[in-house]
Every structure is written in C-alpha cells, then in structure tokens.
A and B are shown apart, each in its own frame.
Chain A
C-alpha cells in the first residue's frame, strides 16, 4: 500500500490520527443501577433514582458490564488490571444530572493492547498493528432534544448511566483508510465478543477523532479532537477535511489551536465548538462512593474461557482449509456470516466449494431479496444438502442454481425438489448420444463449419445439447460424447 500524503504548497504532509471509541456495553441493566438499557423506550421510563442523581443514591457496579469490558480487553491482547478504580469527571451540562461522570482516569480496567488491521480490502494479508492505549468503563450521559420547543431543550435520561467502554488508540494511524480499517476491525471484534452490538446508527458506537499533521520526520503537530462522529465513512471524511484544513492554516501562516470540533455530515466539514476555555478542567478525583474494583483469577478465567474464536484466528483456519484469503476475509468480517458459514462446514460442506457458493449464490440471493444472512431463507443445513448433491454428481452447477431458486421460493429441501421436479442430472450416455445425434442433424451448416476447422463452435453444440436436455445432462459427459460425435 502506498503511503497517504497530502501535497501542500510547502511540500508533503503526513497525517497522524488517534481514535477514542465509545462503545455501549451490551447489558440488560445500567452500569450502576438496575434500570433497563433497551433502545427506543418512552422518555425517562428507564431511569432509576440513581440515574437521576437523587441525593443519597449509591452506585453499585453491574458485574456483566465489567465482565464484557474485560473480555473485550482480552480480545485485543491487552493487559487486564486486576485492581482498577472509578473517578469522577466533573462538569455541568443539562444531560448529566450528577454534575459528574463516573469514569476511570488514573487506574483503568484494561491497559495496553493492539489490533492488526487491513487497510487494503483487496489484500487482507497486508496488516498494520495499531496500538491501543487503554479501555476504561464509564457512564453515558442523557439525551438532549433541541427541536421540540422554541426556547427549551428536552432532557431524556434513559441513556443516563448506561455502560460505555472508552477504547483509546495510540496515535498510530496515518491515513483515513487506516482509521476506517481500525474501526471496521474493532467493530467486528466487539460483535464477535458480544460486548457491543456495534450499531452506529443507534449511537452504540461513536468515535472522537484526534487529528494532527506534520512534515515527515517532524515532531507531532498540535491536534484537534472532532467529537462524536457516528459512522466509519464520516470518520474518514472528518480526517480528510480536518487534515486539509490544518495544512491550509499552517501554510497560511497560522497555528493550530488544540480544540474540540464538530463534524457536519451534510457538508463533510468540521467546525470549532465555541467551548469555554475551562471546558477541559474536569477536576477528576476518586469517586468516594465506590471502592476499588478488584478482580480475582476465577473471574478472569471465566472471561477468558468464554471468548469465541476471533476473526483473525477464524480467517487463518479458513485459509488453511483452502479458502482464498479474500473470501476468508469476507466470510469472517461479520460475526453472523462467520457463524452461518461455520454451521455450513459442520454440516459437511467442502470449505473451498462452500466459500465460492456462499460468495456468489447466497450473497447474490440475499442482495436481490434485501435480506441479511441472519434472516437467510435457506439454513446452513439446507445449503449443505444442496452442495452435497453437487458434490456427488446428482446436480450440475446450472441445475444447482435452479434448485436453489426453488429453495428460496418454497423453503423446501434440495433433495425433495430434485425428486419432485425430476431435476436430477443424467449421465446416461445412451440418452445423451441420442440427443447429440439429433442436434448434429438439425445443424448441418454449423457441423460443416466445425469440421472445416471452426472449433469455436464447440460451445454452440454444448449449448444446444444442454438446452435439448433441459439442462439436466452431466456437462462432463456431454463434452466427452460431443467431441467424439463431432470428430465424425
């Protein structure tokens, strides 16, 4: 992959990117209260007195949220801190009834780890290692709505207190593509682990994007932070815009101020938040309501034992089984696809054949019908039955396509369809020879040309024969018998 550089008036610039991803932890109840976390409920119906910060309420951590953060840490090869602590991050805003967010600044639950990402889709083997600084657990804030009333903002605290993991990368990325690949991989791993559903359109995963620029070999430049970008494409756009903006400022004789910016998805641009200069003075201190979080070996062991096979390991296993690197990458990127494919292999399908079939036939059918693999009309067991009929010669490739169409329409099994509709492929040489004789008799001109040396007409005869047999002849047998017949 070529290095990403931006050509400015004064020469080439390198872009330096770090990402802070907020991922909502999948749990039934909130981080410190027993209120529900489900998306889309009526306003303020999933709020306990703890979440509303009523005086005298005490937070009690939800074990599942801690467990999911630890499992996520293990999935990125990170150091798990058996002793961590919660701190208060103090600021006033209408979506934060406590006046502080319970977070972890000084002693996060998860320390350094890393992700290997593939910025080039066509070449999944070319990976780059992106460092991860830490993962800490913290509370989400409530939601503000500004468009309901001319002079008032509405506050819904349903999200207040929901558990988030803040996953902080090192400034290791150097292009929008690398940042996109990092987010794609991180999202994939979170979904494999089951610690976050990765629904960016519902806000379950959002990123703060730190960008700076420098001339090659220089120290890091001053960075800006673009807050709460909620799609991978927008993150890539925000980086590109912000890097170009910074270069323009510097080359125009200005300096970059460390500031918080907002991304506008409609224009693809960023703008400064007119925040007060004190906005970052959070006056963190250890939360006196919470003792340190201490984890024992049994807890960690359970977390480790419950981790699934992760995308990289699965991809290597598929490749070792004869699947191309590209297909293995596609099949393992989404956990639902990988689960479906694993079930297909368990049902006895040959890996390489199954990968080809899923990539072309199944994905094609799902695209046509606007479905995802999770609600595929054909189950892995049904697909395995179809592929087995191809493998044992009962069905040719084109017959298998026909049978698959019927499966999609009726939900019937392949074997039943073959029986019922007589779609079985025939290798009966007598019947095929009879049809070939007929085809040759009907097409004397072509026969003459073929025998005169125009061998490209061979395909024509194959087509005519297959057509006359309703597609049910074994293509290999047809080829062999045709060659003989055409030779005279």
Chain B
C-alpha cells in the first residue's frame, strides 16, 4: 500500500490539518516509508495470536451510575475563544 499527494491532501483535510504543496509533497515519501514498515510487520503470521490490548493483564473498569461531576460551567467555558450566555459560540454552521 502506498499513498500519493492527493491521498495525503485528503487525509490532511479530513483531520483539519493545513498543508501547503511543499509539505504535502514531502509527506508522501515519509508516509510511504511508514506504510512500508507496517507492511513488513504484516509478514509475521499472527493468525493464532490474540490482539494485545494492554501490556499487563487488565480489565475494563466500569463506573456506578452516580452523578459525580458537572456544574462547572465556568471551568468548561474558560478556554473557549468565544462564549455568550453560558454557550460556546462558533461561526454559524447550518445546513
């Protein structure tokens, strides 16, 4: 698998990362290198190996259904570039 400039640009735009032509062009071989390594890993037969989800044996912990958080509107909004009347505000997005 390899990527071309168009794919790099598309992935960048989906991730909202601004790239100019030079940067996009430079990323093509870099990403292809990485994809090459991944493909090399794919040569190992792992059909009988369970995917490892943690380096130590561990289980997903669940929480009780109790309200323990919230009521911190000031803190939540503190870093917002713009807010009004307790809301975040953003450039109008409507379809």
Contact = CB atoms under 8 A, between A and B. Distances in A.
B70 A47 contact: yes
Interface string A27-56: 111000111100000111111111010000
A294 interface: yes
Interface stretch (A57-65, A457-465, A472-480): A57-65
B75 A49 contact: yes
Nearest to A278: B14
Nearest to B82: A152
Interface string B51-95: 001100011111111111111110111000010111111111111
B48 to A, nearest CB: 17
Contacts of B71: 45-46
Interface in B11-63: 13-16, 53-54, 58-63
Contacts of B88: 44, 94, 154-155, 157
Contacts of B84: 149, 152, 154
Contact of A293 (B15, B58, B60, B91): B60
Contacts of B90: 94, 152-153, 155
Given A94-B93, A154-B89, A46 B64 contact: no
A92 B85 CA distance: 24
Contact of A29 (B16, B59, B67, B92): B67
Contacts of B13: 278
Contacts of A156: 87
A194 to B, nearest CB: 13
A274 interface: yes
Interface string A51-92: 010000000111111100000000000000000000000101
B89 A155 contact: yes
Interface in A232-269: 262
A157 B83 CA distance: 13
A151 interface: yes
A320 interface: no
Nearest to B89: A152
A29 B14 contact: no
A91 to B, nearest CB: 8
A87 B64 CA distance: 22
A27 B59 CA distance: 23
Given A94-B93, A278-B10, A281-B14, A43 B70 contact: no
A63 B86 contact: no
Interface of B (DSSP majority class): loop
A47 B76 CA distance: 7
B92 A62 contact: no
A153 B70 contact: no
Given A34-B63, A262-B95, A278-B10, A46 B70 contact: yes
Given A29-B68, A34-B67, A62 B62 contact: yes
Contacts of A60: 61-63
A292 interface: yes
A144 interface: yes
A63 B69 contact: no
A292 B67 contact: no
Given A153-B92, A156-B87, A291 B63 contact: no
Contacts of A151: 91-92
A298 interface: no
A33 B76 CA distance: 14
B89 A153 contact: yes
Contacts of A416: none
Given A34-B69, A44-B76, A291-B53, A63 B91 contact: no
A294 B60 contact: yes
A149 B62 CA distance: 41
B66 A28 contact: yes
Nearest to B88: A155
A294 B61 CA distance: 10
A290 interface: yes
A292 B52 CA distance: 10
A145 interface: yes
Contacts of A44: 73, 76-77, 86-88
Contact of A283 (B14, B63, B72, B91): B14
A157 B94 contact: no
A52 B76 contact: yes
A63 B62 contact: yes
B87 A145 contact: yes
A5 interface: no
Given A34-B70, A64-B64, A278-B10, 5 more contacts: A34-B67, A34-B68, A35-B70, A152-B91, A291-B53
7 contacts: A28-B65, A28-B67, A29-B66, A61-B62, A63-B65, A146-B94, A148-B85
